[in-house]
């Protein structure tokens, strides 16, 4: 029986992943590290409300087997460039460093399709730099999750994302062949794929939307 460490449990992927982890008998404990209040209650859950600027003081709590990092933001939510970079780049680097020091076996990082450390787009650049750092730490198992546009209902409303979701869903037939990795994907499908990737100990590191779709659609409840 394993212990999961989850950052980003209220996000689109994180909330779906939390539900699956609760119902997955591979895990006896789920440690949630969050800045916001978590209303869900379950015997498996250990909830730590923390200040992400003071992670070093939480090191002794970040003990377990598999770490899932699902935190992300937008420039609209975080307009200050430094604060934005702190969340999108510095935070996953800090968390991965601590979990590596604590001998966590697996690190699963929710990145983005198109992530590239050399991109001129700050979002994709930050994701790419975080990916490279996590991979170079050399966990026993590393998975970089690179979904395209996510489908699902967020807690906060994003008009631009809703419009994009409508367009992508109605033009899904276009995304075939080489374009398949750019096809929109439901967050729950991504969460299912993540657990299947981990259970099967896949040798790949990068998982784009097309791979995630195939894995998530073939997911069966794990007990």
pTM for this predicted structure: 0.86
Gyration radius of the chain's alpha carbons? 17
Contact assessment for residue 114 and residue 147, using Cβ atoms and an 8 Å cutoff:
no
End-to-end CA distance of the chain: 11
**What residue numbers bound the domain in which 212 lies?**
2-217
For the residues of 153-210, what is the DSSP string, one character each? Answer: --SS--HHHHHHHHHHHHTGGG--GGGGGGS-EEHHHHHHHHHHHHHHT-S-SEEEHH
CATH of the domain at 200: 3.40.50.720
Q: Give the pLDDT band (50/70/90) at residue 166.
A: very low
Task: Report helix, strand or coil for 110.
Answer: strand
Q: Give the pLDDT band (50/70/90) at residue 28.
A: very high
Residue 222 maps to a domain: no
Residue 223 maps to a domain: no
Residue 181 maps to a domain: yes
Sign of the Cα torsion 150, 11, 125, 192 reads negative
| 66-69 β-sheet, strand order | 45-49, 27-34, 2-7, 66-69, 106-110, 141-146, 206-208
Residue 90 maps to a domain: yes
Condensed to tens digits (0 to 9), the pLDDT of residues 192-222 reads 999 999 988 777 899 998 899 889 887 765 5
Count structural domains, the chain: 1
Condensed to tens digits (0 to 9), the pLDDT of residues 54-108 reads 899 999 999 999 999 999 888 788 888 899 999 999 999 999 999 999 999 999 9
Residue 161 maps to a domain: yes
Residue 188 maps to a domain: yes
């Amino acid at each position: 029986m394993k212990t999961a460490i989850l950052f980003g449990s209220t996000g689109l992927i994180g909330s779906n992943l939390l539900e699956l982890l609760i119902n997955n008998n591979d895990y006896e404990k789920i440690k949630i590290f969050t800045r916001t209040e978590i209303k869900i209650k379950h015997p498996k859950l250990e909830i730590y409300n923390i200040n992400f600027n003071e992670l070093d003081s939480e090191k002794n709590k970040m003990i377990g087997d598999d770490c899932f990092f699902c935190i992300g933001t937008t420039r609209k939510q975080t307009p200050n460039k430094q604060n934005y970079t702190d969340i999108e780049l510095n935070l996953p680097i800090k968390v991965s460093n601590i979990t590596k020091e604590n001998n966590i076996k697996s690190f699963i990082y929710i990145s983005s399709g198109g992530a590239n450390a050399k991109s001129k787009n700050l979002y994709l650049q930050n994701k790419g730099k975080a990916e490279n750092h996590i991979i170079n730490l050399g966990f026993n198992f590393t998975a970089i999750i690179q979904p395209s546009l996510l489908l699902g209902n967020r807690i906060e409303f994003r008009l631009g994302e809703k419009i994009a979701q409508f367009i992508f869903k109605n033009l899904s037939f276009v995304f075939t062949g080489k374009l398949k990795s750019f096809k929109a994907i439901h967050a729950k499908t991504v969460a299912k794929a993540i657990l299947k990737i981990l259970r099967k100990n896949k040798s790949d590191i990068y998982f784009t939307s097309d791979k995630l779709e195939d894995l998530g659609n073939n997911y069966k409840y794990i007990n």
